[in-house]
Amino acid sequence: MMQEIKRFQVRGVPGEVVRLKFGARIVDYWKPQKGSDKLLIAHDGQNVFDGKSSTHRGQTWEMAQSAIRVSRELGISTPSIIGVWHSSTKENPWGRGKDLVPEKYFREGLEVHNDFAKIIEDKTLLQSDSYFREIFETIVPALEPDIDPKNTAMIGASMGALATLYAVAQMPQRFTTALALSPHWPFGANGLVEKTINSLPLPGTHKVWMSHGTKGLDSEYAPFQAYADKLMYERGYRTNDFISRVYPRSGHNERSWAKYLDQPLSFWLDSKTQTP
């Protein structure tokens, strides 16, 4: 059951963002005033629009502002945006990990790095599969039932990037572009890289973006991402449907991702990079 919590405005964004509740799940939703034929689904919805709910000192992705800017430059309609909040609370501190850790990979025996073992001490608590069912069977049908999966993208950073790549492997019919910023490969090291890349759809049907910076947590990602890139090319992905970028001096936070968000959005929205 969908329940409206409140509406609020964001500087530089026409109209209002609507905060909704689907059961226990909170969602922030913005739709362009003229409507849209495109949809962007974002993880960590706390950080997408609202600096007050953001987990990092008021930083947000400024996602709607970027989407408006890129769409205007391309001369196309601006996508609607659904920001899905994760489940972490004081009572459930590992809720985000339970939502976003690629469930099947770790249930099937993939080893998690010791630094992150606490998140999945009990693998039966992992819930990414039900999290994605909730998104695609409840939230999207309620908010944007008519948008074609071919015009739908998913975006996430860190664990949200891993979840995005997992979702496109598990539900390739639901969306066709996966935008994964700062994928947190150290969570499962090269085993996670291999499982993730080898599970992706065949090239030519979907588009995949991966990127990372060089500061903070992102400074650990280069060797894993180089291995991921190698595997992507071995699988047949090329620049029309796969881009991997490094952003020097960019870190692991919303402000850093917001600074270059225009580029993955352009990769998704520009018809010159569309898959058949």
- Residue 95 has a pLDDT of 86
- Residue 274 has a pLDDT of 47
- Residue 56 has a pLDDT of 76
- Residue 119 has a pLDDT of 62
- Residue 93 has a pLDDT of 74
Q: Is the pLDDT of residue 107 over 80?
A: yes
Which of 98, 30, 26, 25 has its CA nearest to residue 62? 30
Q: Is the pLDDT of residue 148 over 70?
A: yes
| Enclosing H/E stretch for 63 | helix 63-74
Q: What are the pLDDT digits (tens) for 125-147? A: 789 999 999 999 999 999 999 99
Q: Where are the beta strands (DSSP E) in the chain?
A: 2-10, 13-22, 25-30, 39-42, 80-84, 152-157, 177-181, 207-213, 242-247
What is the C-alpha separation between 173 and 176, in angstroms, rounded?
7
Q: Is the pLDDT of residue 254 over 90?
A: yes
- Residue 111 has a pLDDT of 83
Lowest mean pLDDT among 81-95, 105-119, 152-166, 255-269: 105-119
For the whole model, what pTM was predicted? 0.95
User: 36-68 b/e with 16+ CB inside 10 Å = b?
Assistant: bebbbbbbbbbbbbbeebbeeeebbbbbbbbbb
DSSP class of 148 = -
| 3-class SS of residue 136 | helix
- Residue 116 has a pLDDT of 65
- Residue 273 has a pLDDT of 58
Average pLDDT, the chain: 93
For the chain, which domains are there? 34-273 (3.40.50.1820)
Lowest mean pLDDT among 1-15, 32-46, 48-62: 48-62
What is the C-alpha separation between 146 and 229, in angstroms, rounded?
34
Q: Averaged over 22-46, what is the pLDDT?
A: 97
224 and 260 Cβ atoms separated by less than 8 Å: no
Q: What are the pLDDT digits (tens) for 159-196? A: 999 999 999 999 999 999 999 999 999 999 999 999 99
Q: What are the pLDDT digits (tens) for 58-90? A: 899 999 999 999 999 999 999 999 999 999 888
Q: Is the pLDDT of residue 105 over 80?
A: yes
Q: What are the pLDDT digits (tens) for 190-249? A: 999 999 999 999 999 999 999 999 999 999 999 999 999 999 999 999 999 999 999 999
- Residue 275 has a pLDDT of 42
